[in-house]
Structure 1
Amino acid sequence: MSDGKPDYSSTEKEGQVAVGETFHQGDYGAETELQRRLTTRHVTMIALGSSIGMGLWLGSGKSLASGGPAGIFVGYVLAGSMIWSVSHSIGEMAVMYPLPSAFVQWTGKFVDPSAAFALGWAYWFSYVITIANELSAVCTVLGFWTDKVPVAAWITIFWLVIIAVNVFGVNVFGEVEVICSTIKFGWIFVVIISMIVISAGGAPGVKGPNPPQTYPVGFRYWNEEPFINGFKGFLSVMPTCIFAMSGSENSGLVAAETDNPKKAVPRAVGSIWIRLSLFYLLGALMVTITVDPKNENLFGAGGINASPFVIAYREAGLPPLAHMMNAVIFISVVSTGSISGYGGSRTTMGLAHLGMAPAPFKKADGTGRPLWGLFATLLLGGGLAYLNVNHNGADVFTWFSNLTSLFTLFGWGMICLSHIRMRKAWKLQGREPSELPWKSWTYPYAAWWGLAWCMILIVAEFYLSVWPLHADPDAETFFANYVSVILIIICYLGARVYYRGAWWVNLSEVDLDQSRRFYVDSDIEKPKKKGAMAVASKVVGAVFN
């Protein structure tokens, strides 16, 4: 940062060819010390599985109790339509501008440097909170098996695991995410089929004088009370639904470390419907037809605070599936926590290249690891997790989820706005949509849909923070739930004072070729792998192509 302006200086000579298939024109931070070691297989699986974590497996129980079966299902439908819209905006921009800290740099290029500053630090803190939330939730998950180990010990152990996944380099990170995502993706089929059987009365049930469940269930809970706590109950569901889907946008970040974004990113965007339909919509539906919203053992209630999926299997008399479900939830913690460390470190790198973070954060070591960003992200994320030691796990989860969901809504909104303004600049400067390296068929409707709902839900969460569910208005509750927006406003106004100038970037003067990646041969990718990795790649390709 110099003379009140962000640093968009080039670190690569203009016109330099990269890997035979692309070259950059002016850098804008496009070329860094990161190394392009991720392939289409990695990006696709990261897009599919990176957001599948505590929000779905654990938080859906709290949402079920607060909003009812129809409330949680409609919440996931709405949140799903938003991230579907956001993903298409990401796809179009990430192919053309595959930058570290992508959303931040797109915002600085097409919206305003002050907005980019606020977005970058908001997103970084969101990644930090997600790490803390995943580590906090792992204590609840492992409590299903034993309560003999101190909470602080579990947090420390798996904090070190997440650190190890990131420290061993992007190759290890990519393979861990592929494995975890494959497990989660495969398990959802087991969940759907088995829970349909349970709901239909095909499970043995728990034997005893007072069994906790009677079968078949069908849509009994939908018929009894589809929406619990009315409109306010539905609003209380939305933070968890947004938190559950946060991370889906990480396909935009990994584009900077991908050989061929033009091939990898559209495929990741195209797979979004699989994640939305299978994981969230059908997964949430299965919960509503097998678990009583008033079950005292649901996460956030007064019982053992278990996942609704685990409760469904246990009360159906299927303890092996309950244990397997808990193991998959545990794997999700490692996956989501590790990708949050990845995202946080790349965000600080992008900020540093814009002069919005200390210069050391733009550095990476010989293997492409941004160690300064990793250190700051993982240290603070792990440190915040220890709040769970002296507080109720469900309360900490809810607090962190509310903070993350508001940061996420701001991020999604800025992505859609950047896409809208990028297209406007493209048109103003006399270019045709056909000249884009990849064009989303959803523009402009999806981008405006996503932006509008982000703004609506930020206002709705303000209402819920002032008048919370089952509680009287309270200043402490308001700030605990809405402090994210306050921090965003402070960062934005502080940056406005520093940068001054116009409130919006002049789109007629934006250099559309600066930081752009030009595609010469879109079919070139790294040499094909041999042996077992070739077999694995073919299996993944057969599933997702």
Structure 2
Amino acid sequence: MEPKMVATPQILHHAMHSGHSPHPDDVDEGPPNEGRRERRGLFLGSGRSIAGAGPGGAVLCYLLMGTVISSVISSLGEMTALMPVNAPMMEFPRRFLDRGVGLAVGWMYWFAYTVLAAAQLVAVSNLIRFCYDDGRTFLNWETGQNVDNAVWITAFLVIVIIVNLNVRPGRLCTTLVLTLWNSPYWFFNLNYPVRDQENEVQRVITGPVGTLLGVWTTSINVLFSFVGMDIFAATAAESRALSDSESMKMAARKINIRIITLYTLCVLTASFLVPTDHPFLNGGGQSVGSRSVFIIAVVEAGMPAAAHAFNAIFVFSSFTCAINSLYIASRVLHTLALRGQTGPEFITRRLRQCRSGVPMRAVMMTSAVMLIGYMGRSGSPGARLDELANNCTVSYLIVYGTICATYLCFYRTLEDAKTYETTSEVQAASYDRNNPLYPYKSHGQWLKACYGMVSCGILMLLNGVGAFLETPFNARKFISAYISLPIFILLIMGYRLRKHGLRFSKWGLERSLDLGGAVQAASEKRKGRLEFPDEGFTRDNWRELFHWVWIGDALVKLGHPYGGFLNGIRMWSPTFCAGSRKMIGPAVTVKMVEASDTSAPQPGRHFADYNEAGKVMYVQQPKGLYSACWGGLMSTRAAFLGAQGVVVDGRVRDLNEHREKDIPVFARDTSILGSSGFSRASEIDVPLQFDGDVWIHPGDFLVGDVDGVVVVPPSLLERAISLCEERATVDRRILKALHEGMTMEEAMARFRN
């Protein structure tokens, strides 16, 4: 017995269409200026992809473009996990390719995110004007229809700015597949309509060439769905969670999985439900939301109320994307200002200024450029904004291709650094990708970087093919597709002209190949890696599964987050991660801010003078700085005052002086730079967030030795000591039993259990 077809009348109407694909004369031209303004993300752009490349072609495009972006994310993730730096998208090219390339990437990156933010505001204003009318179902957001787009753009722009100024650092499917992937639709769309500037169909290219053009142009459009995935690395400088190498590894890995699976599966499911020749997918429809394949699917399935919920989700998604885009763009502009690469000094000086850790001037400057969003209100200016959005995609391709090229240079630098005579054994270990403490690596990453670089290059060079197909030649579309390339080159040349003038002999590559700030994972027991003690379904394996992230020490047993462990903090004095020296004492906390932050409070005297006998000073430095905030003179003062040691969530210098004073110093890393001009003390004895739920309050006990540092609240101190004594007694018994020949399994079972 054959399965029965389950479909609504309109789907049946499309399925009855004869032939192998929609006839050229049946291609819906769509209203002027509206049909082409669809280069959106997954929610609003996937319908256009299905219509342009066919159901199978669209899924293939999302899968292929997903692998390209995944290659970029893996390259960026490995570099950022090893060296958490400020603005990694421009800093890594600056280090490993060329300083001029770093400047050019920074400006391209800022421009791309600024235009993206403006385009998302336009998308919000269009989505609020939701209307869906297919002759059988009528849906309408009346308030949105009656208010001008400019009002919505203004309202949401104000909210976006305010937020950024306050940011602290079955059977049915099987049947439909057979129907909508076979005749008359096929795996690919066999027709490619060539549209002019007024969105009218000039001619239709059929056959294999039409299929190839449909897949190619769809791939370019699909790429827009993936832009912004790099945000996880861009926020590492301000996020204490992402600055941790383990969190960076997990973020990169999860993003890669979601790129390949979530996006592809969404489009695959949608292609089962909506035919490629649906009029709303081909330029029809009364609003941007009505062309979403997800809204069409729920309406055709007889659930029109769900369409309102989907459109509301689209509004929220575009709105939050605008917030994120402004955040990234403003931080990139602030970083450019810190590098002195934003023009005249009076502008640069203002863009450097922060207030409560937020670069206010950079946010406002970027917001001012976002006013181009008003171009997208309607008519011809809206087409101009669409051209900027198209150019934004090309800018991302340049940036992403550069990141892959940067990784290849970074990879080579890692290999070379291990052979340098000046490289210590500890440094060589931190550069070894096969070291179990290496923060994050992806197998075959250099091959993926090559693949990503070549793919971005091909997409960038051939993305403007549509301009050559129109009659007459579409010069505006051609310029929109390729103007970013000469601008990128001009930015690099401008850097050299400003620095070296016409002395062409000095125009060579300028790069430091600096691997400074490299970190290692705190333990060979890595986050995200599940290791079972036995084979099969044993009790111990189930216990390990349920206690995957459990740490068996006293503080964890007492419910203290992460056992109070300060991940990434290592001993540098009196020896480097060696010896039996221990440190314990109540904390005196010091909050540092960037030197450009003139609004933050200032202490009454030098912060080193706040050291007290028997206590440990905890200094928290702003993330992403290359400078040290603790030096030999400060250790001299701390030792004189009788301090037990110092813990620096940042960098230190003058290691020999600390060791001469025989004072315990724990820090993330070292530097040769002092704090002058980079950071300054702001507040003393205030609660400071180390990472997630781990806080250091004044008076909390800091306990450190060769294995690291933990923070113990006074309320848990006595119980923690008692549990530690019990554990020490048990461990002594186990040690004695092992010396007497007892097996490890027997000893653990007898004493630990």
TM-score strictly above 0.5:
yes
Aligned to 2:440: 438
Distance 1:326 1:198 in 2: 25
SS of alignment partner, residue 85 of structure 2 = coil
Query: How do residues 69-148 of structure 1 correspond to structure 2 at under 5 angstroms?
Result: 69-144=55-130, 145-146=141-142, 147-148=145-146
Asked whether 1:423 is paired with 2:411, we answer: yes
Classify 1:299/1:142 alpha carbon distance in 2 versus 1 (closer, same or farther; 3 Å).
farther
Per the TM alignment, residue 362 of structure 1 is displaced from its structure 2 partner at its CA by 2.9
Distance 1:488 1:527 in 2: 39
8 A Cα contact 1:54 1:329, kept in partner = no
SS of alignment partner, residue 41 of structure 2 = helix
- 1:274-326 deviation line (CA, Å, top 9, x unaligned): 42244310111122222222222237446544212111111221112211111
Per the TM alignment, residue 418 of structure 1 is displaced from its structure 2 partner at its CA by 1.2
Moved more, 294-303 or 261-270: 294-303
Query: How do residues 14-53 of structure 1 correspond to structure 2 at under 5 angstroms?
Result: none
- Given candidates 230, 235, 251, the residue that maps to 1:249 is 230
Classify 1:300/1:94 alpha carbon distance in 2 versus 1 (closer, same or farther; 3 Å).
farther
Per the TM alignment, residue 393 of structure 1 is displaced from its structure 2 partner at its CA by 9.6
SS of alignment partner, residue 403 of structure 1 = helix
Aligned to 2:725: none
- One-letter code aligned to 2:358: R
Distance 1:523 1:333 in 2: 36
Classify 1:398/1:58 alpha carbon distance in 2 versus 1 (closer, same or farther; 3 Å).
farther
Distance 2:87 2:44 in 1: 29
Aligned to 1:360: 350
Aligned to 1:526: 691
- One-letter code aligned to 1:78: L
- 1:194-248 deviation line (CA, Å, top 9, x unaligned): xx78746xxxxxxxxxxxxxxx532433322423422222221123211110000
Asked whether 1:318 is paired with 2:295, we answer: no
Classify 1:108/1:137 alpha carbon distance in 2 versus 1 (closer, same or farther; 3 Å).
same
- One-letter code aligned to 2:280: N
Classify 1:394/1:280 alpha carbon distance in 2 versus 1 (closer, same or farther; 3 Å).
farther
Asked whether 1:459 is paired with 2:457, we answer: no
- Given candidates 172, 175, 180, the residue that maps to 1:221 is 180
8 A Cα contact 1:365 1:371, kept in partner = yes
8 A Cα contact 1:102 1:350, kept in partner = no
8 A Cα contact 1:198 1:290, kept in partner = no
- Given candidates 284, 296, 315, the residue that maps to 2:279 is 296
- One-letter code aligned to 1:341: L
Aligned to 1:57: 43
Distance 1:341 1:156 in 2: 15
Query: How do residues 442-521 of structure 1 correspond to structure 2 at under 5 angstroms?
Result: 442-464=444-466, 466-468=467-469, 472-500=472-500, 501-505=506-510, 510-513=513-516, 515-516=517-518
- Given candidates 211, 218, 222, the residue that maps to 1:237 is 218
Distance 2:181 2:382 in 1: 25
8 A Cα contact 2:50 2:276, kept in partner = yes
Asked whether 1:377 is paired with 2:366, we answer: yes
Classify 1:420/1:303 alpha carbon distance in 2 versus 1 (closer, same or farther; 3 Å).
same
Aligned to 1:390: 378
Classify 1:166/1:471 alpha carbon distance in 2 versus 1 (closer, same or farther; 3 Å).
farther
Distance 1:138 1:527 in 2: 32
- Rg comparison, structure with higher value: 2
8 A Cα contact 1:95 1:437, kept in partner = yes
Classify 1:384/1:71 alpha carbon distance in 2 versus 1 (closer, same or farther; 3 Å).
farther
8 A Cα contact 1:117 1:492, kept in partner = yes
8 A Cα contact 2:520 2:568, kept in partner = no
Considering only aligned residues, what root-mean-square deviation do their CA atoms show, in Å? 2.7
Asked whether 1:160 is paired with 2:119, we answer: no
Classify 1:197/1:364 alpha carbon distance in 2 versus 1 (closer, same or farther; 3 Å).
farther
8 A Cα contact 1:76 1:281, kept in partner = yes
- One-letter code aligned to 1:264: S
Classify 1:488/1:220 alpha carbon distance in 2 versus 1 (closer, same or farther; 3 Å).
farther
8 A Cα contact 1:99 1:255, kept in partner = yes
8 A Cα contact 1:240 1:401, kept in partner = no
Per the TM alignment, residue 85 of structure 1 is displaced from its structure 2 partner at its CA by 0.9
Distance 2:57 2:286 in 1: 22
**Identity score, percent:** 26
SS of alignment partner, residue 95 of structure 1 = helix
Per the TM alignment, residue 337 of structure 1 is displaced from its structure 2 partner at its CA by 0.7
Distance 1:71 1:167 in 2: 43
- One-letter code aligned to 1:320: A
Query: How do residues 254-293 of structure 1 correspond to structure 2 at under 5 angstroms?
Result: 254-259=235-240, 260-293=243-276
- One-letter code aligned to 2:449: A
- 1:363-420 deviation line (CA, Å, top 9, x unaligned): 3212x11112211222212x11111123279846743442121111111111111111
Classify 1:129/1:298 alpha carbon distance in 2 versus 1 (closer, same or farther; 3 Å).
same
8 A Cα contact 2:71 2:448, kept in partner = yes
Distance 1:362 1:264 in 2: 29
- One-letter code aligned to 2:227: S
Per the TM alignment, residue 138 of structure 1 is displaced from its structure 2 partner at its CA by 1.5
- 1:306-363 deviation line (CA, Å, top 9, x unaligned): 2121111112211122111111111101221111011101111221222212233233
8 A Cα contact 1:109 1:510, kept in partner = yes
Per the TM alignment, residue 253 of structure 1 is displaced from its structure 2 partner at its CA by 0.7
Distance 1:487 1:455 in 2: 16
Per the TM alignment, residue 462 of structure 1 is displaced from its structure 2 partner at its CA by 3.6
Distance 1:62 1:81 in 2: 21
Per the TM alignment, residue 505 of structure 1 is displaced from its structure 2 partner at its CA by 4.1
8 A Cα contact 1:57 1:309, kept in partner = yes
Greater RCO (CA < 8 Å, at least 6 residues apart): 1
8 A Cα contact 1:345 1:370, kept in partner = yes
8 A Cα contact 1:239 1:402, kept in partner = no
- One-letter code aligned to 1:473: F
Distance 1:283 1:471 in 2: 36
Distance 2:233 2:305 in 1: 38
8 A Cα contact 1:102 1:253, kept in partner = yes
Per the TM alignment, residue 256 of structure 1 is displaced from its structure 2 partner at its CA by 0.9
4+ aligned runs moved over 6 Å, structure 1:
none
Classify 1:350/1:527 alpha carbon distance in 2 versus 1 (closer, same or farther; 3 Å).
closer
Distance 1:446 1:239 in 2: 20
Classify 1:392/1:356 alpha carbon distance in 2 versus 1 (closer, same or farther; 3 Å).
same
8 A Cα contact 2:71 2:452, kept in partner = yes
Aligned to 2:399: 411
Distance 2:230 2:692 in 1: 28
Distance 1:300 1:161 in 2: 31
Which has the larger helix fraction? 1
